[in-house]
Chains A and B, each alone.
Chain A
Amino acid sequence: MATAGFNGDLDVSTDDSTYNTIGDVTEVSSNLQRSLEEITVLGDTAVDRLPMLKDSDFSITVLADDTDTQQGVLDSALDGGTTVYLRHLYDGTNGFKVECYVESVSYGSTPDGVATKSYTCMGRDAWTRVP
């Protein structure tokens, strides 16, 4: 059965043990992918491919809130070049988790809107599906 998008959940952890929900998330998009190497040879009648490495990334948009501890965890990871563990439960129950580096954060301020932050995070290890 389809699930409303607002039921989704995005959690962060520094130790892959205790996860806490990132506050005021308005949008998250995560991607799991595996690169494929083409290995077609002469005489083949169709393209063949070989599975290569897994990869993952996140795009996260939040309302900027300096009192939100978990947003601070992402900021600290970016500042310090350390990793965090992100867990995206796309329907509130099912999803995946992966260790990530925070690659960038973009700040947005519009006079008639709300200040926002947009993070890009890149996986550095294989993902694990949860639960």
Chain B
Amino acid sequence: MSLASDIATVLVAAGLGTVGADIFYGPERATTEIGDGAIFVLEGGGFAPTPMLGGSDADDLKTIDALIVVRSDKNDFEGGETTAQAAWTALHKQNPAAWISWVITTSGPAYVGSDETGRHRWTLTLLAQVLE
């Protein structure tokens, strides 16, 4: 089970793109092979786990974070904002059954400015909990 791949699956199901075409794993990249309008999903280490009693074989309650970056063409701020909001709606409290919860840490996508070529960017930080 990978948080990044599960997030990508939800984003695809929401009609926000296709993995490898406009949804990508890892940090935002400026490479020309990726179009201006794209979503990047980067899984992080999260917070300290809460161990369950029972020794080394017992489960931990893990809280893992993921950073989702939505990028749009420099002339399509509205389109990018719509996509970012749709991603927020698709992800917040919409965890697949294997996860205990998914919560976005902001009440909407956070606009973080444009890159050096003027492309607009929004971020979502998702906290996921799982017992494993």
Contacts and interface: CB of A to CB of B under 8 A. Distances in A.
Interface of A: 5-10, 21, 23-28, 63, 92, 111-112, 114
Interface stretch (B5-13, B27-35, B53-61, B83-91): B53-61
Judged by DSSP, the binding face of A is: mixed
B52 A6 contact: yes
Interface string B55-69: 110110100000000
Q: Which residue, of B52, B53, B101, B129, has the highest number of chain A Cβ atoms within 10 A?
A: B53
B110 interface: no
A112 B47 CA distance: 14
A24 B103 contact: no
A7 B131 contact: no
B61 A6 contact: no
Contact of A26 (B53, B55, B56, B100): B53
Given A63-B61, A112-B103, A114-B101, A25 B54 contact: yes
Interface of B: 50-56, 58-59, 61, 100-101, 103, 127, 129, 131
Given A6-B55, A7-B56, 20 more contacts: A5-B53, A6-B51, A6-B54, A7-B53, A8-B54, A9-B53, A9-B55, A23-B52, A24-B52, A24-B59, A25-B52, A25-B54, A26-B52, A26-B53, A27-B53, A63-B52, A63-B61, A111-B103, A112-B103, A114-B129
Contacts of B61: 26, 63, 114
Contacts of A8: 53-54
Contacts of A28: 53
Nearest to A24: B52
Contacts of B129: 114
Contacts of A9: 53-55
